[in-house]
Amino acid sequence: MADLSDVSTSLALGLVAVTLSLFWLKRKNTSRDPPGPPVLIPGFGHLLQMSSQPVQQLRLLRQRYGDVFRLYMGSYPVVIVSGAEMIADVLQTRGAEFSHRPPSFLAETLANNKGLLNTSGSTWLEQRKTMIRTLKMQAATGGHLETYIGKAAQRLTTQFKSLVDSGQADMLDVAPFIKRAVFFVSFSLAFGRQLDFDSEFLISYANHYDHFFRCLNLAVLTAFMPWISWLPGDLVGYKKCKETAEIIVKNYVEPEIARLKSIVNNNNRDVKDSSTVAPFCLASVYIDEMRQKEREGTPTFLSDEHLPITISDVIAGSFDTMSSGLCWMLLYLIHYTDVQETCRREILDNDCDLDIAKYVYTQAVIMEVQRHANMAPMPPAHCCDKDTEIGGYFVPKNTAIIINTDSLLMGPEVGDDPTAFRPERFIDDEGKLHIPKWFIPFSAGKRMCIGMAVARKELLGFIIELLSKFQFSAPKVNGRECMPPLEGINGISHSPKPFHLCVTLAGQRK
């Protein structure tokens, strides 16, 4: 009887949600509302229409409705902004106005509206400034970042070399190895200690993040249809996603924070025993600043409640973006072997030194891969905390605003060959790297990715180490080349479909 009662309650709540959706969707539009397609399935909005090929759907909708149009995700109105002019207006010209995050069921239930990703206003700004300042110092020449990248990349090449020598690299899934190497860097930046690659703690921690993102790809539907989470069972994996998020914070993040707090609180930074000195890392700097402001009586939004979620947000963002980006890079390099060889020559000519300025062509290739792969076709939504207008259309406060990045990365500003893979588009007539205004893989304005400098150096560092030692090509089956397609999986980010490649020592070919 209890189960039947639960089902009845869930169905009743679902019916209420659909009824409210119908009321909202049938309200009379005004001439100042953004245009958009009709809703065919109340309660779902355009989610089914956008689920399979969102980028292609956005292109078609833009052709019909222009650079500003409205969709419904579940019962929630979402304004899609496309084109260089409109996007620049939202992200840069009026960036402060649109720097807020819309209310979100997921932000409330997974993160308790804490941390960096889903907060707004002064709370978000102070978390952001603290993280940016620390990351910039880490990424500066001589900072810890280069050490972490070097160790991770060397360990990754050691693993690949062992697989090549044992004949196990002819058809290799590189993703698990890349994810562990990338997570090593993220963990070290966050907590200031370098774990062994084979550490059960590191492997388990990374696997939990990987599992979290796999669950989140479908659980994100509850952000637009919260009533799904009330249904019996776990239809879209929301409950598993929430459980995994709680495990990450409780079993991995909080113990590391407790370790650092015990050091910081002892205030032993001047002692000669390095084991009692808190390492310079994201968490220790946050704790330091929080304690300093407490002693001074300075009002602050840095808190013990925000700290674990803020650190988790930074680790999650860097882990997902970097591992996906590196996999995309290798996938494109086996499709364009001449590009791979040109990168390798540039790397060897510069003795594999991690000086970004020396690698104009390799950086251009990375940028072209980021443009082509478009890992964030529908990035986290923005909103305004008051009624506003975009392109002359009325947008109520707290309405979700999504930037259509495809309209920039594949738009007319790119040139007359946007579908072509041509790294030279990022190199000017003087042979210098050119970063056009439309190239915003890390977003732009107030909400621009805080780890942009770290990401550039980290991705380049891994590529330098890998291409200096290995050659990557399509695997062969029965003597025939099996080239994996340049296809991705649409989720929270756009990641490549699982693929295999062949790894050989540089200068050797199978």
Q: Could you list the residues known to form a binding site, using ranges.
A: 449
Cβ count near 294 (within 10 Å): 12
CA proximity to 330, closest of 506, 484, 169: 484
Upper half-sphere CA count for residue 336 (Cβ side, 13 Å): 19
Distances (CA, A) of 457 to 189, 190, 315, 452, 487: 14, 17, 16, 9, 26
CA 129 remoteness from chain centre = 19
> CA-based angle 436:429:329, to the nearest 5?
55
Tokens read off for 385: 């905390």
DSSP for 356-376, written as a single string: GGG-HHHHHHHHHHHHHH-S-
Q: Which parts are annotated binding residues for heme?
A: 449
Rounded to the nearest angstrom, the gap between the alpha carbon of residue 292 and the centroid of all alpha carbons in its chain is 31
- For residue 45, the cross-strand partners are 41, 73
**Residue ranges in 350-451 assigned as alpha helix (H):** 360-373, 406-409
The secondary structure element, H or E, covering residue 390 is strand 388-390
Structure tokens at 274: 């390095």
How many angstroms separate the CA atoms of 189 and 72, rounded? Answer: 39
Cα(94)–Cα(385) distance, integer angstroms: 13
Q: Does residue 69 contact residue 62 with C-beta atoms inside 8 Å?
A: yes
- The dihedrals phi and psi of 294, each to the nearest 5 degrees, come to -65, -45
Residue 99, phi then psi, degrees to nearest 5: -85, 0
Helices of type H across 410-487: 452-469
What are the residues whose beta carbons fall under 8 Å from the beta carbon of 198, sequence distance 6 or more? none
> What residues have CB less than 8 Å from 155, skipping those under 6 apart?
181, 184, 197
As given in the structure block, the two tokens for residue 460 are 């380049």
Residue position matching structure tokens 């407490």:
294
State the angle between helix axes of 175-191 and 306-335 in degrees (0 to 180), rounded to the nearest 10. 150
CB 394 within 8 A of CB 30: yes
> What are the residue ranges of helices labelled H in 410-479?
452-469
First to last CA, the chain: 65
